[in-house]
Chains A and B, each alone.
Chain A
Amino acid sequence: MKVTAVIPAYQEGARISKTVLAVLPYVDEIIVIDDGSEDETRLNAWREGAVVLRHGINRGQGAALRTGNEAALKRGAEIIVHIDADGQHDPISIPQLLIPIQQDTADVVLGSRFLGGEAVGIPWSRKALLNAARTFNAFAVGVPRSVTDPQSGFRAMTAKAVRMIDFKQDKMAHCSEILRLVTRSSLRWQEVPVCVHYSEESLKKGQKPWDAARIAWQLFLGAFVG
């Protein structure tokens, strides 16, 4: 089965080469979506052998993932792996994400930081925020509480699942939207433990506590836009 990694990247010129090189041994192809960066992201990803698509202007991580999904499907991907560009997701976990799909026991495999895998350097504030997000997802979005990681962007899906999961959120709310769509669909899904490494840099660029309100607002608006 052709495995394609989709990596959305914005201003990741300094880190994208390392990420592409680390992911390459686990997949057949890497698609990097340069989401309107003004640095060397595109060039560095291309130099390391990734297929690079460029958004003319920054549209957000959700939008970049969707572009990557469409590109991967056009290029014949059978399994698509979503992974962050900042090196936070350890590619060593990719085989764990692929096994249930390869054994035909799941269509969507979600990586979780809270299933016994390592979440190295995760601050307590981030942990508390993710717990709150889990409750929010359950009550406001309708995601089952059995989903342990409400904001994991590390996942693998079959091509069929990618075609079915028609998420629309361009920005940070796409994680909750994908979870809602997956858990309410007829697709078989499961969570597996993944390794995530937090560094000062990734925390600086990652989500902030007040982003929770922004995500809630985006989901609320999205319900009216359709």
Chain B
Amino acid sequence: MLIQIILIAAMAVALYVTWRRVMQNVIRPAEALGWSVVWVGAALVVLAPNITTRLAGVFGVGRGVDLILYASVPVLFMLVFKLFIQHEKMERKLTDFVRREALKGMEKHDERS
């Protein structure tokens, strides 16, 4: 089916870009490995959608699609939380910068007077 071809191509591109970023020292190999598991797992699900239904049965969920939806909630929650933490770290760096400038201003003023 066309949709399967498009999705598989997208996963292949994602896999290629992930490892290219490792070569460029943008991300660590361990991180790339984690993402590779995601992309390959997604490709397997696209190729054989019955996998999710079988997995859903193991977890006691009716349909494979439902399992994916349920699983995506904590994953999205974790990603959003990670963003919050990164935002907080940025805020603190910004505060440090603002503080350094304020203290420099005081020292300059003291030198002049």
Contact = CB atoms under 8 A, between A and B. Distances in A.
A57 B95 CA distance: 9
A121 interface: no
Interface string A19-50: 00000000000000100000000000000000
A70 interface: yes
A54 B105 contact: yes
Contacts of B105: 53-54
A56 B98 contact: yes
Given A221-B84, A222-B88, A225-B88, A59 B94 contact: yes
Contacts of B63: none
Contact of B85 (A53, A63, A225): A225
Task: Report, as a range, how many residues of chain B touch the other chain.
Answer: 10 to 19
A221 B98 contact: no
Given A63-B98, A66-B99, A170-B95, A221 B85 contact: yes
Contacts of B84: 221
Interface string A192-226: 00000000000000000000000000000110110
A225 B92 contact: yes
B89 interface: yes
Contact of A67 (B88, B89, B92, B103): B103
A51 interface: yes
A51 B106 contact: yes
Contacts of A170: 91-92, 95
Contacts of A15: none
Given A53-B103, A56-B98, 9 more contacts: A33-B102, A51-B106, A53-B102, A56-B101, A56-B102, A60-B95, A67-B103, A222-B88, A224-B85
Which 4 residue pairs are nearest across A and B when measured between Cβ atoms?
A: A53-B102, A63-B95, A67-B99, A59-B95
Interface of B: 84-85, 88-89, 91-92, 94-95, 98-99, 101-103, 105-107
Interface of A: 33, 51, 53-57, 59-60, 63, 66-67, 70-71, 74, 168, 170, 221-222, 224-225
